[in-house]
Structure 1
Amino acid sequence: MAVSAALGMSAAAVLPSVANAQEELLVEEVVVTGSRIQKTNLVTSSPVTQVDADEFKFQGTTRVEDLMKNLPQVYSNQNASQSNGATGTATLNLRNLGDERTLVLINGRRMPAGSPLQGGVGADINQIPGALIKRVEVLTGGASATYGSDAVAGVVNFIMVDDFEGIKLDYQYSQYQHDNDNSRLQRIVGDAGFPFPDGSNTDGDIQDISLVLGGNFDNGRGNITAYASYREIDGVLQSERDYSACALNDDATGCFGSGTSAEGTFLTPGNGTYYVDGDQFIPGSQAYNYGPLNYYQRPDERYTAGAFGRYSINEHVEAYTELSFMDNQTNAQIAPSGSFFLDYNVSPDNPFLSDQQRDILFGDPSLLNDNGTAPVTIGRRNVEGGPRNQDLRHTTFRGVFGARGDINDTWRYDVYGLYAEVSMENTYNNDLSNAKLANAVDAVIDPETGDITCRSVLDGRDPNCVPWNPWQTGGVEPGGAATEYLALPLFARGTTTQKVISGYVAGSLGDYGIQLPTADSGVEIILGAEYRKETLNFNPDEGFRLGLGAGQGGATNPVNGEYDVNEFFLEASVPLVEGKTLAEEVVLDLGYRYSDYSTDTTTDTYGISGSWAFNNSFKLRASYQRAVRAPNIQELFLPQGFNLFDMAQDPCTTSADGNPPTATLEQCMRSGITAETYNNYPDSFAGQYNYLQGGNTELSPEEADTYSIGFIWSPEFIDGLTMSVDWYQIEIEQGIEDLEPEFILNQCLAGDDAMCASVNRGPRGDLWIGSDVNSSGHIVALQDNLAKEEVEGYDVIFDYSLEVGGLGTLMFNNTMSIIETWDTQQASSAPVDDCKGNWGGNCGYPTPDFRNNFRATWLTPWGITGSLAWRHIGDVTDLNGNLDLDDTDYFDVSAVWDVLDNTSLRAGINNVLDEEPPIAGDAAGPSLNGNGNVFPGMYDALGRYMFLGVSVEF
């Protein structure tokens, strides 16, 4: 444990066997994340937090992201709890600085981008076989000089078991349980006329089975460790929790729904807004409760397999390989599609219209088109056809082939090639066709048969058309011919690939006498070079490309892009003083990397750090890193297309719930509003507006300066106690971001002409009707070099163990994260936003200023190890002034019982008290990586998590 804390590592739940193994490392040469230099001790100048394999057992983890997101330094954007906007991947995000700034490694080597989809920029840790994880090392702070681009916020390095001997079979069954007893929210949902769950729900079953087998061969010169695993996860709908039974409004005082409703919302210029009851138009609109059909936990099925191998050919060459395969299929279900406020020209001879409806639509000739048709905008939900269903499948292969060894007593080498490919299949079911909707709404009487048909059938434009009747309650048959005709399946395929050729030589220059006279050890040096190529290919079908899907928000374009980079790097470790009074060891570490990108960009990254061990009890460390991140493959080449962003109200018109405009005519005219359209067009009924997203090939690298200062203390007068405290600061300039669309609009209204160029009002003046990028209102928010961010805080870790006589050993670990500063400035003309302890506004996802994890473990002499964990998340303030997120505490209990020498059982309950997640309301939408009125990537969204597992080893 003292070894772990010397690194600044959490030694949480380290069992005696693990602790003994770590102590043995003191006399070996090891490599710690953040440097390639081997050292004969574990003093590092950069703070590294470690999670050991036993922590996975105590947490009952089957999804690696579930454990990692509990670390105070780690945030989670894409995970199994996302539905609307899901990529089907699981990503990690250090310091809440973004997936793209967190580099994920396996055994010190890169993982590929997780998906060619928007949001899939981070490595998909679904690829990680949990059964083979030896430990996870988390280095927060820049490490670009060592590992290259993407390591601005830090590095997560998964160290895998590659020397297993025997056979190990592991099975675990898990499920969630929650008591739906929130009477206040149940009353709100009930008052809105929606159903809600009551009583206990047990669901979300997870089954995970893995097989590991391995062995040495040729008298121990080689080892092969192979694995295979299967995981099946049952889905959980938002309808199964009372706090997600409806989409709550921003202050959680009522249910918030979509204007694209089962009753329809009909916008008639000059005549007002109506919905249908029977065959009558009723003034106003009805909200559709779109939340319950969304997944809170996506159903998921995953297969993994692979092998790690090594063989010593001779004393100078050890060949090694890493092979891994994953096939992961998941389903992201959301509410039914529909006519999302599409414009139609309705003919007076439409046989579905009642006399009352015909009178309203055609009573005033001045409101009609030149051909006598009536312009009507229809928002009508396809409840008869069922929810939209996005089937996401990612198949990944990663292969590493390399050789390493000693050239002589002074020099060693390591060279390898890596190829990784991620293949994505996106099958989008149950959307509707915009073109078919237009044909189906235009219903007429067949003069020959007297039957109702489509005009397009009579004139031959679409002989298969089936008329659609949104004008009457029950006018559309569930699962009938009309819904089958309107349905439009969509398909997209894509791949990302990564190729790396890397190698270095390492030397102990002390063998040549290159050392300081005040030190006993010589200078250690690394010289290396690396070539990396990234490609992205995304190929949507015609329906996606032409924007034919009514529920897609617009066209999705294909893309085919690539870049490569040639790099040279070096590291040096210089012992300054050794074996002196108050200077047992003083070491200076240096690093530099030069990168030449095919995008005509070159970068220089470097770092300097040092450690000062006064004695065996007290050590100081400090580091500075200039980290430079070139734009990744997605930021450069992501296809441009419409997406939706959340905003409480368009400032230039009356909101759907009656609030007047918040901006003046003069301000709104800057954004494209005219005197005629000001406060004279309908606002979005769902609080969602169009924006154009996508990559930008003109991006420049972003730069970051990272600093850390800390100490490690193992007092001799308290045996078994080790404590580390580290201060860190990360400053990012020219940050690659897509500006918040609402920020762009507000800056435009405030007089920023450059921002106004990105605001495109629709013909009515709106920003939400339609899905054609050439004619529909929207805000352009492409990737650009604009943002400045600064994060500052402290990490505090302590470990303590003590013998309790014949009762065994008690072990305590506490990992604390304190944020002092988390500032963001979206552009140089914008104010600085303080995001520390805040969420919403320009800050988006919650950033608690205090998070803490405590674990107590009892190693009994009876073969049972029990553990209790306490997870604390500090309170977070809503910058929009609606819903603050209260501080939250979770308690977890678990135990591992060695039933036989080769068999162990484990069981546990996480969130024992069934603590509900803090409610954030509708503002916690997909654009902020929220779901179901909460932020499930931060909080336990489903209640108690119960698990039971067995492991048998031969």
Structure 2
Amino acid sequence: MQVNSRLAKAVRFALVTGAAATALSSPVVFAADDESADSVERIQVTGSRIKRTDMEGSSPVTTITAADMEKSGDMSIADVLRSSNLNTFGSDAESSGSSWQSQANISLRGAGADRTLVLLNGKRMPGSPTMGGTAVNLNTIPTAAIERIEVLSDGASAVYGSDAVAGVVNIITKKDYEGLEVSASGSLPEQDGGEEWKTHIVGGTSSDKGSMTFSFEHQSREIIYQADRWFSSSTNLGASDLLDTTGLSTYARNFRDLDTGTFSPMAACDNEDMAEGGKIYSYKDGYACGYDYTAEAADHAGRDYTAGYISGNYELTDEIMFEGQGLFSRNETFGRYAPAAGYFTVGAGQVEILTPDGNGGFTSGLNEKAGRAYYRFTDVGTRDSTTIDYSTDIQIGLVGEHDDFGWDVTYHYNLAENSNYGTGYVHRPTVEALVESGEFNFGPEGNSDEVIAAISHDTLAQDTMDFQSLNAGINFEALELPAGLVGWYIGTEFSQYKYSSKYDKESTNDEVIGSAGGGAEGDRDVFAIFAESIIPVTDDLELNLAFRFDDYSDFGTATTPKVALRYQVHDDVVLRASWGQGFRAPALSDLYSPDSFSADDATDYHYCEINGTSTSDCREEQYDVTRTSNENLQPETSDFYNLGAIWNITDNFSTKVEYYNLSIDDVITFISLDSLLREEQKVGYGNTAGEIVRAGDNADGALIEATTPLVNGNGFDTTGIDFNLTYTGYETSFGDFGSSFDLTYVLSFEDEEYFDGPVNDMVGRNGLPEYRFTWVIDWSYGDHTASLLTQYIDGQAEDTDPDTYENVGSLESQTTFDFSYTYMTNWNGKFSLGVRNITNEDPVLDSYLTYDEALYNLYGRTYTASYTQKF
């Protein structure tokens, strides 16, 4: 084994060179030999509670440093993590116009954000109540306070419990900071919208007994409207068929016959707010006018974020240390939808509709039977949504050490209070009453101020998660083997969750047009005991064992083991392998939420077939869907395998390759409408797991609405390879160079085509790229540094044949380049300039000019600048 100088050099190498902000791995570090082990500081790496001398343990961990985040030019932790190649198929960012618009998350291995555990300094962060209490909203975590992020790309339920199915993101904040740092940053996209600025202060002081570190930051980002981008604004409005346009909605001024499913335009289509001044389009078997919702709606919400953080420690005695930290944040977003759109019931003779006269024109007359009005309430104005999320996180604890024995006790409290205020919505019963009385005016001239005031409604949604936990553990070395002492950690944890989601009474009663929601509440207690051991089998072979038992008050128990091996083949070569089981508990919202309304996109191939529309021409459309929760849900279970090899080829050149396999059973999922329609093709109308309602209750009728339940599905399986190359220290007369390359290659992603349907490998389909990589080239010369970051997302198929499940069409790959330059002054100042997306790439668009928002962003070429002053 190598001596301590080798370890120290490697540690410095890791901290200085770091990794690219999108998953560049720390270089390999090996343990010191027995003669110098006592002088080597032990560190705790994510994935284990036992401190060790090796940064590379038996499970793969990727490190992203604060310097890496600066290099990327991203101003939020969510943006940094979303661009990681470990975030394989992308994840959610803040979007405009809903109660979710303030939320952002990460989804390791493409397994879903609720299967990725997020820690703050090694302690579980409870999920956002707005996202149901599982996935963590990364927008509540400040960036100024971050020292580094460790991403464990391996299952870790045996160590951390529920949700650590696909991996763990551990956000580690600054400690023992001395001095003061003030910084200001800004970004300016070439295209309209999305301007961003940020300022922060970081400071700290220390003494012989302890230290204190604090930070304060504020970030602001402007809204991006759909009309600000050519691909998200409406197109081809002059077409004769509404299905040949983009950006138009039949929720305009249309009447629908529920027996036949056909649309008829109202006379009220003759309105300047409708597309092309009220143009009548052919639509399926009828006619309709359209509304251009892209003229008003926004894609990305505007954001204002303010956060404060403080941490400290104090030596109570020579063997006992007090540690504490507090995080307080306020995240406000503003979003806009087009005016409220929805349907309401109209009786026979209440609406003036237009019917073809046989000569290319239309005649006007009253509807002969009852049906639905698909109506856009432009008189009420746009639907504006303001969310305000407050997050409070407090941790206090004691850490003790006595010779080779240690202990820790931590109390953790987190309160998330999220409120969404909406204006511009419409009260359906009032509209229906005014229609019945004849006071509602369907004509082009619109309604009176009195009627608008009567039907207008403001919505309110308030989500709360109150979380408390008490953790305690002991660590020690016992049982000496020929290769050394066995390390142990034994701990226990008690957690309490209280979840509440409240909506205004009208929304809860499903009386609001243009909104959805219903209140829910629930609580659970979780008791856990866990143990971990590192066993030196030989001088070169290490065995890591972990086991955890969780007892949930609402659904039962879970036991999760893990076994890992680390083998030092050579001074510069390490092999490792791990297997572990995991689980994910149902979210409280999954169990207790009332029915909620949603507008889901799906393709009704059966109806297209009945009407002679080819599969390739069958368009995806939006349909009304009611989603239902399920109190009988059981937890998901999983198995995770990892095989890895690490090789320090030279002192400056290292490589790493990891193979993974993740298999999840009893997946908790909503049966999507698309899945429900495919199931219907197999089992027939009226026999699906959810309910499909077609016009006239006819199996061949047009789709009217559907109900999709939350269920435990069968599961999915994914395998892949992570590959890393890192080189640093190439010295020339015009500067030093280094480079890192990281690739994630998904070998398979096997999932059901629909609920309980055939299982196929879906890699390469739309939204599921086969591979993505990041390549960074670094340069430094004196006080000057620069980086060029290349990110690549592989192309995908545009669609899938519903009969053969073969890929159809293709979407091109995307390559983007980011450049950053930094100059360090002799007065402790730092100037940074950068350009993101140098070639101004748009998102990868399909034939209908839509794109996968989880994979791509719409900011385009963006210029960045910052200045930092240290005192």
The interval holding the TM-score normalised by the smaller chain is: 0.7 to 0.9
1:905 deviation in Å? 1.0
2:320 aligned partner: 317
Distance in 1 separating the partners of 2:116 and 2:628:
21
Q: 2:480 aligns with which of 515, 524, 530?
A: 515
2:828 aligned partner: 902
1:460 aligned partner: none
Q: 1:715 aligns with which of 649, 656, 669?
A: 649
1:866 aligned partner: 786
Distance in 1 separating the partners of 2:469 and 2:77:
25
User: 1:739-797 CA distances to partner (integer Å, 9 max, x unpaired)?
Assistant: 22222232233227995252242673389999xxxxx9643322221131111010001
Distance in 2 separating the partners of 1:296 and 1:600:
39
Contact kept? 1:838, 1:847, Cα under 8 Å: yes
1:412 aligned partner: 406
Question: Is 2:568 aligned against 1:616?
Answer: no
Contact kept? 2:624, 2:706, Cα under 8 Å: yes
Question: Is 2:499 aligned against 1:565?
Answer: no
Give the match's secondary structure for 2:129.
coil
Give the match's secondary structure for 2:591.
helix
1:706 aligned partner: 640
Distance in 1 separating the partners of 2:791 and 2:195:
23
Contact kept? 2:255, 2:371, Cα under 8 Å: no
Partner amino acid, structure 1, of 2:535: V
1:87 deviation in Å? 4.2
User: 1:793-822 CA distances to partner (integer Å, 9 max, x unpaired)?
Assistant: 100011101242443321111111001011
Give the match's secondary structure for 2:102.
coil
1:516 deviation in Å? 2.2
Q: 1:855 aligns with which of 766, 776, 780?
A: 776
Question: Is 2:854 aligned against 1:937?
Answer: yes
Partner amino acid, structure 2, of 1:908: G
Total equivalences in the alignment:
825
Distance in 1 separating the partners of 2:854 and 2:386:
21
Give the match's secondary structure for 1:170.
strand
Q: Which region of structure 1 is more displaced relative to structure 2, 723-732 or 556-565?
A: 556-565
TM-score (norm. length: structure 1): 0.80
Give unpaired runs (5+ residues) of structure 1. Answer: 178-200, 369-373, 445-453, 455-467, 579-584, 663-683, 771-775, 840-845, 923-931
Distance in 2 separating the partners of 1:949 and 1:767:
61
User: 1:479-531 CA distances to partner (integer Å, 9 max, x unpaired)?
Assistant: x444333211111222012111111100012xxxx2322x1x21000011011
Question: Is 2:454 aligned against 1:485?
Answer: yes
Give the match's secondary structure for 2:633.
coil
User: What is the percentage of aligned positions where both structures have the same residue?
Assistant: 23
Partner amino acid, structure 2, of 1:795: D
1:917 deviation in Å? 1.1
2:6 aligned partner: none
Distance in 2 separating the partners of 1:823 and 1:247:
36
Contact kept? 1:689, 1:768, Cα under 8 Å: no
Give the match's secondary structure for 1:761.
strand
Q: Which region of structure 1 is more displaced relative to structure 2, 67-76 or 803-812?
A: 803-812
Question: Which structure exhibits the higher relative contact order, with contacts defined as CA atoms closer than 8 Å and separated by 6 or more residues?
Answer: 1
Give the match's secondary structure for 2:533.
strand
Distance in 2 separating the partners of 1:601 and 1:44:
33
Q: 2:589 aligns with which of 619, 628, 634?
A: 634
Contact kept? 2:265, 2:353, Cα under 8 Å: no
Contact kept? 1:788, 1:826, Cα under 8 Å: no
1:257 aligned partner: 248
1:450 aligned partner: none
Distance in 2 separating the partners of 1:621 and 1:300:
43
2:838 aligned partner: 912
1:116 deviation in Å? 3.2
Contact kept? 1:744, 1:755, Cα under 8 Å: no
Q: 1:389 aligns with which of 372, 384, 387?
A: 384
2:3 aligned partner: none
User: 1:467-487 CA distances to partner (integer Å, 9 max, x unpaired)?
Assistant: x32233x4457xx44433321
Question: Is 2:196 aligned against 1:206?
Answer: yes
Q: Aligned runs of 1:442-591 on 2, under 5 Å?
A: 442=436, 444=438, 454=439, 468-472=440-444, 474-476=445-447, 480-509=449-478, 514-517=479-482, 519=483, 521-552=484-515, 556-578=517-539, 585-591=540-546
User: 1:622-673 CA distances to partner (integer Å, 9 max, x unpaired)?
Assistant: 1111112222323223332121221233734789xx75599xxxxxxxxxxx
Partner amino acid, structure 2, of 1:630: A
Question: Is 2:845 aligned against 1:890?
Answer: no
1:318 deviation in Å? 0.5
- Taking a change above 3 Å as real, the CA distance of residues 251 and 58 of structure 1, as seen in their structure-2 partners, is farther
1:144 deviation in Å? 0.3
Distance in 1 separating the partners of 2:689 and 2:194:
47
Contact kept? 2:548, 2:559, Cα under 8 Å: yes
1:430 aligned partner: 424
Q: 1:91 aligns with which of 96, 100, 105?
A: 105
1:180 aligned partner: none
Question: Is 2:141 aligned against 1:128?
Answer: yes
Distance in 2 separating the partners of 1:614 and 1:27:
22
User: 1:146-165 CA distances to partner (integer Å, 9 max, x unpaired)?
Assistant: 11110000000111102111
1:225 aligned partner: 213
Alpha-carbon RMSD: 3.5
Question: Is 2:291 aligned against 1:288?
Answer: yes
1:921 deviation in Å? 5.6
Q: Which region of structure 1 is more displaced relative to structure 2, 243-252 or 485-494?
A: 243-252
Distance in 1 separating the partners of 2:192 and 2:11:
42
Question: Is 2:728 aligned against 1:725?
Answer: no
Distance in 1 separating the partners of 2:619 and 2:660:
44
Contact kept? 1:858, 1:865, Cα under 8 Å: yes
Partner amino acid, structure 2, of 1:637: Y
- Taking a change above 3 Å as real, the CA distance of residues 618 and 281 of structure 1, as seen in their structure-2 partners, is closer
Q: 1:42 aligns with which of 46, 51, 55?
A: 55
Contact kept? 1:269, 1:375, Cα under 8 Å: no
Q: Which region of structure 1 is more displaced relative to structure 2, 617-626 or 430-439?
A: 430-439
Distance in 2 separating the partners of 1:812 and 1:66:
22
Q: Which region of structure 1 is more displaced relative to structure 2, 62-71 or 29-38?
A: 62-71
User: 1:401-435 CA distances to partner (integer Å, 9 max, x unpaired)?
Assistant: 111020x2121011101111111111121011112
Distance in 1 separating the partners of 2:295 and 2:124:
39
- Taking a change above 3 Å as real, the CA distance of residues 873 and 601 of structure 1, as seen in their structure-2 partners, is same
Contact kept? 1:257, 1:288, Cα under 8 Å: yes
Contact kept? 1:264, 1:275, Cα under 8 Å: yes
User: 1:85-112 CA distances to partner (integer Å, 9 max, x unpaired)?
Assistant: 7342111111111111000011111112
Distance in 2 separating the partners of 1:837 and 1:268:
39
1:948 aligned partner: 865
1:671 aligned partner: none
Q: Which region of structure 1 is more displaced relative to structure 2, 847-856 or 609-618?
A: 609-618
1:287 deviation in Å? 2.3
Distance in 2 separating the partners of 1:433 and 1:375:
20
Question: Is 2:724 aligned against 1:797?
Answer: yes
Partner amino acid, structure 2, of 1:759: E
Contact kept? 1:343, 1:375, Cα under 8 Å: yes
1:297 aligned partner: 300
Partner amino acid, structure 1, of 2:720: G
2:372 aligned partner: 377
- Taking a change above 3 Å as real, the CA distance of residues 307 and 351 of structure 1, as seen in their structure-2 partners, is same
1:934 deviation in Å? 1.6
Distance in 1 separating the partners of 2:696 and 2:236:
29
User: 1:46-76 CA distances to partner (integer Å, 9 max, x unpaired)?
Assistant: 1111111111111112121111111101154
Distance in 2 separating the partners of 1:439 and 1:749:
39
1:909 deviation in Å? 0.6
2:435 aligned partner: 441
Partner amino acid, structure 1, of 2:330: D
Q: 1:606 aligns with which of 543, 558, 561?
A: 561
1:56 aligned partner: 69
Distance in 1 separating the partners of 2:777 and 2:735:
13
Give the match's secondary structure for 1:817.
strand
TM-score (norm. length: structure 2): 0.88
Distance in 2 separating the partners of 1:108 and 1:244:
41
1:351 deviation in Å? 11
Q: 1:649 aligns with which of 589, 593, 604?
A: 604
Distance in 1 separating the partners of 2:296 and 2:626:
27
